Amino acid sequence: MFHRFSAIPAALCLLPVASPAYADGPTVDSQVKALHIAVRDALPPPRDPQVLEEGHFCRMQVITPKTAAGRAVAARGWYVTSEVPLAGHTSVGAFSRGGEGTSGTCFIADGNIFVFRGPALAAIVYGDASDDDSGGLIGGVTGTSLPDRVRITDRTPPDIAHADLQFGADTITVVPVAERETFCGRLELPNLRGKEIPEVRKLLARQGWRPDPPEAPEEAGYDAAKGYRAEGMPEFETCSGTGYGFCAVNYAHAGGARLHVTTVGDEPPTVSAYDVECASR
């Protein structure tokens, strides 16, 4: 999919391809279906931007940019959701349209990642066309533990990760989510997102992680976590009773680190996000 420009949004088609702050322009490529990247040196305005009224769920996704790149994107008329400086680049997630769903969900319909090299726009990552009711694959970017990657997520409450953006000396590539990451300098974890808890438990056990039960679990009222604990999964701390059915699940490593997992759904719960709390020294 080298330099795949099919299905480029109309706003992009009006822009000339030129070399940004690179000697000869970056080499771009996408290895992920339905996600595309194009070299660009001028910020397009949003096409038919939506006015987000007070109380609209998508307003909760909008941030006040802190980077020069983020401020430039906002000044062009986009709603900025995220910004991550890394490896000489700043990746800015932004959108102009979105629909509302259950549990405060914003379905971002026209999300893009604007990639700057220094002060200049270098490339834009975009997805296939989507509608306001279902949203697309791109909502924003988050950091990773890897020195050359940021992660592209949809920013729905499960915050599903769809790809990584990888930076080389003169390359910007959309790649599948990394299969493994290293935390706390030495703890290697496989990618757990999208995996069901029974599989996750086996993967973690092989790498020295054990269930970390809550010290004083709440037993009053309905909480699906009680049922999971009764089924032999003591790591379930608590679950929401409505919407996506999120659960907080915890594991501990012999070295002192803790793994905090968020699951979504049931039968069985599936990992949507996780983070590692390193051992204190």
Are 27 and 110 contained in the same domain?
yes
Amino acid in the structure at residue 83: E
Q: Is residue 153 part of a domain?
A: yes
Torsion of CA 98, 65, 115, 6, to 10 degrees: 20
Determine the average pLDDT of the residues in 160-167: 95
pLDDT at 89 over 90: yes
Are 240 and 156 contained in the same domain?
no
| pTM for this prediction | 0.83
Domain-ending residue, one of 178, 210, 244: 178
Are 121 and 161 contained in the same domain?
yes
Q: What is the CA radius of gyration of the chain?
A: 20
Domain-ending residue, one of 148, 178, 208: 178
pLDDT at 1 over 70: no
- The phi and psi torsions of 4 (rounded to 5 degrees) equal -80, 115
Residue carrying structure tokens 């757990």: 192
Are 234 and 113 contained in the same domain?
no
Domain-ending residue, one of 178, 199, 222: 178
Q: Is residue 3 part of a domain?
A: no
Are 58 and 171 contained in the same domain?
yes
Model confidence pLDDT, tens digit, residues 12-49: 433 333 334 566 679 999 999 999 999 999 999 999 89
Q: Is residue 42 part of a domain?
A: yes
**Whole-angstrom distance, CA of residue 196 vs CA of residue 268:** 6
Domain containing 208 equals: 181-277
Q: Is residue 1 part of a domain?
A: no
Three-state DSSP at 13 gives: helix
Determine the average pLDDT of the residues in 214-220: 69
Q: Is residue 174 part of a domain?
A: yes
Are 187 and 270 contained in the same domain?
yes
Are 32 and 50 contained in the same domain?
yes
Q: Is residue 193 part of a domain?
A: yes
Three-state DSSP at 108 gives: strand
Are 186 and 258 contained in the same domain?
yes
Determine the average pLDDT of the residues in 191-220: 88
Are 238 and 253 contained in the same domain?
yes
Are 165 and 237 contained in the same domain?
no
What is the structure's pLDDT at 157? 84
The answer to whether the beta carbons of residues 217 and 210 sit under 8 Å apart is no
Residue carrying structure tokens 């092989």: 206
Domains of the chain: total: 2
pLDDT bin (cut points 50, 70, 90) of residue 219 is low
From residue 164, how far is each of 3, 8, 109, 161 by CA, in Å? 17, 20, 19, 8
pLDDT at 7 over 60: no
What is the structure's pLDDT at 130? 76
Are 62 and 101 contained in the same domain?
yes
Are 146 and 189 contained in the same domain?
no
Model confidence pLDDT, tens digit, residues 115-125: 999 999 999 99
Q: Is residue 82 part of a domain?
A: yes
Determine the average pLDDT of the residues in 179-202: 93
